[in-house]
Amino acid sequence: MAKSSTSAAEERVPEDSEITTSRSITVTESTATLSLEVTDYPKLKGMGVGQFIKSRVFKVGGNDWEMRFYPDGCNNECDDNASVLVYYLNARKEELVSTRWALSMPEKKSQVDVVSPLVGKCVFTRRKLSNWGYPEFVKKAKLDSLSELGDGCFTILCVFTVIIDESPAMELPRDLEGMRRDGRETDVTFRVDGQEFRAHRPLLAARSAVFEAQLFGPMADKDMQCVKVVDMEPAIFDMILHYIYTDWSPICDDEEGYSTAVMQHLLVASDRYGLDRLKSMCEEELCKRINAETIATTSALADQHHCKLLKDACEKFESSQFTKVLSVTTATD
C-alpha cells in the first residue's frame, strides 16, 4: 500500500509541463517531463520498504504513467538506497510500447544534481502492469546529508518519450502460428503425456538444431509420423512450439502471471531444445523472482543448466541474506 504525507511531499505533474509530438511516416514520438517534488525528506524516512509517494497520473503517447519514489527502497534488496520507478498503468493488449528517458534529481535551491543524470530505454510488454527504474537510485546517506545542509527539498525529473510504431503488425508470425493451431500441412505429431501437437518438420529444424538432428539427422526415421516427448508437461511443450513459430516469448503474453515453477520448467525446456534466446529471457525473469522460497530450486537450476546470470543473482541474494542475519546477530549481542 502506498502512503504519502502532504507535509512531506507534493504529488504533482506541472500543469504547464510541455508535451511535444513528432512524426515520421510510421513512427510517432511524444515527450513530456514528469516532476515529483519532495519538500521535506526527513519526514519520509521510516515509511518502510515498498512504501512510496507518487506523482499524478500523466498521459504520454496515449497511455497513462506515474512516477514513484520509495524513501526506504522498493524491495528488501535495495540495501541502504532509495528507489525511483515509473509505472505503465494501462498496457494495451496488442501493443508493445517503446520508451526512452532521462532521469535526474536536482537539489531545490542550487539545482545541482544530487545524482548523475541517468538515461536509458525500455520496451513495455503487452498485458502487464510494467515498471522500470532504479531500485538503487540514490544512497539514503546522501539524502540525509542533503537534508542537513539544506531544507531536505529536491525534485525528481523524468524527461520521458513514448515511441509509437504505427506500421502494420507483422503478419508472418501470426500466419505461421495459425497454420500450427489449425494443423494445416503438418507432417509430424508430438505426443506429450497423452496430448498431441502437430507441427512442420522444416520449420522446427530451421529454428532448433536439436529438432533438426531429431527429425533429419543420420539416426532419424524420416517416415516416423509421431514423436513421443518424455519428462515435459504439455503446456510447456506448447509454449516451446509457440516460441518457435512466432519468435515471441510466452512471458510477454502473460496476463495473470506465470508461477516461478512454470518459468523454471520453460527454462529447462528451452535449454533442452537449444533455444538460447528463450532460455536467456527465462533466466532474466527468474532473476526477478528470487526470494527465500525459490532460492534453493533456482540456484540448483542455474548450476544444472549453466545459467551464469541466474547463478550470480542467487549468490547476490544469499550474500545479502547472510549480511542481514549477521547484522541482527551483532545487534542482539
Of 1-5, 180-184, 205-209, 259-263, the least confident: 1-5
Of 1-10, 210-219, 237-246, the least confident: 1-10
Percent of all residues in the chain with a pLDDT value above 70, rounded to a whole number: 80
244: closest CA among 277, 287, 268? 277
Nearby residues of 3 by Cβ (< 8 Å), 6 or more positions away = 47, 51, 53
pLDDT the model gives residue 127 = 52
Domains annotated for the chain, with CATH where assigned, are 9-165 (2.60.210.10), 172-309 (3.30.710.10)
Listing from the earlier edge strand, what are the strands of the sheet with 195-199?
A: 195-199, 188-192, 226-229
pLDDT the model gives residue 131 = 81
Average pLDDT score over residue span 141-150:
82
Above 50 in pLDDT, residue 226? yes
Q: What's the rounded Cα separation, in Å, for the pair 287 and 310?
A: 6
DSSP lists the bridge partners of residue 9 as 38
Query: How much is the mean pLDDT over the chain?
Result: 82
Q: What's the rounded Cα separation, in Å, for the pair 290 and 23?
A: 41
Element (H, E) at 138: strand 130-139
Above 80 in pLDDT, residue 157? yes
pTM over 0.85: no
For 40, what's the count of Cα atoms within 13 Å in the CB-facing half-sphere?
6
Alpha helices in 5-160 (DSSP H): 140-149
